[in-house]
Amino acid sequence: MTNYPFLDFDKLENSYSESLGILDQSFNKILVVGIGGSSQGSKAINHFLNEKRVQYVDHLNSVKINELLDNTQLDETGFIFVSKSGQTSETLTIFEYMIKKLDGNIDFSKNFYSLTENVSSPLRDLSIQKSIKTIELSNEIGGRFSIFSNNSLIPSFYFNKDLCTEFLNGGRKALEDKDQIKNMAEEDFKRIKNGKNIFAYLIYGDELIEIGNWRKQLYAESLGKKAKGVLPVVSEMPKDQHSLLQLYLDGPKNIFFEIMGMEYSKMNMINITLSNHLDAMSKSLSNINENTNKHIFKDKDMSKIGHFFGTEMLRVIYLAELLEVDPFTQDAVDIQKGYLN
């Protein structure tokens, strides 16, 4: 396999360390503005860590944005705007909206930061005009493959820097397991050939929901080409058992299931019940001859989380080779962009 820049861990770690000096380290809160791959990676990590001091604006809901700003101690908050191209319409809209709304109430040169490529773009040019610091993003790394790069690492570990090395080392470990991961992709390919065109991620543990959403983007955008690919579905369990379980167990046989669950260090009635539901679901799928992959994570085990992210990126690349599609393009997305005013 070709060496990819998003898996060049030494270079990525050095870039992260150098970029930390640009960002003020005294903020009590971080607010990340970004859409899709620009923010989903760090959102997944912070959600896993239950890090409430980092919040995300990845929507165009002005009511929620106003409420968030009204309840934020502005001078103690770092605003990070992320867009690799510097042209993402949603991010630019929110950037300009906040500039207008907060003008006179905050020092943009101190509290605002832009993470973007080092080329002329609306985000970079506006940042320069407002004396807003920028942190360079690599032009070689696309959003959904950027989990180990600056746009994910900087917001993910702002309050938990001691966990970053562990996370990156987990990713490095995935590179050592390439043969095993290739076998996983070959099994996926067989499933798709046998009509399994829906991949359902059954998630037991709220901490893992945003990891499932990251994975959803990775598979949909990387493989959904030339009338090929799979539909990734994220199911929040056991809640979805009360709406989808009948279909899962007795509906069409075009679904491949993977279970993701938490193993909590402190057990209580809630966690025990959640674990019981996971085990019951696993046994139910086995009874109807459905083979599943199971991923179990412990509290704040960043090494395993890093390994998981690295594994899934390699897995989708191998699977793309088997499907004969390019995992790094998303040309169809430009159709919708062409209709934007």
Q: Does the pLDDT at position 189 exceed 60?
A: yes
Q: What whole-number percentage of the chain has pLDDT above 70? A: 99
* pTM score: 0.95
pLDDT digits (tens, 9 = 90+) for 314-330: 999 999 999 999 999 98
Tokens of 78: 């770092």
Per-residue pLDDT, 289 = 87
Per-residue pLDDT, 29 = 98
| List of domains in the chain | 5-159 (3.40.50.10490), 167-323 (3.40.50.10490)
pLDDT digits (tens, 9 = 90+) for 220-262: 999 999 999 999 999 999 999 999 999 999 999 999 999 999 9
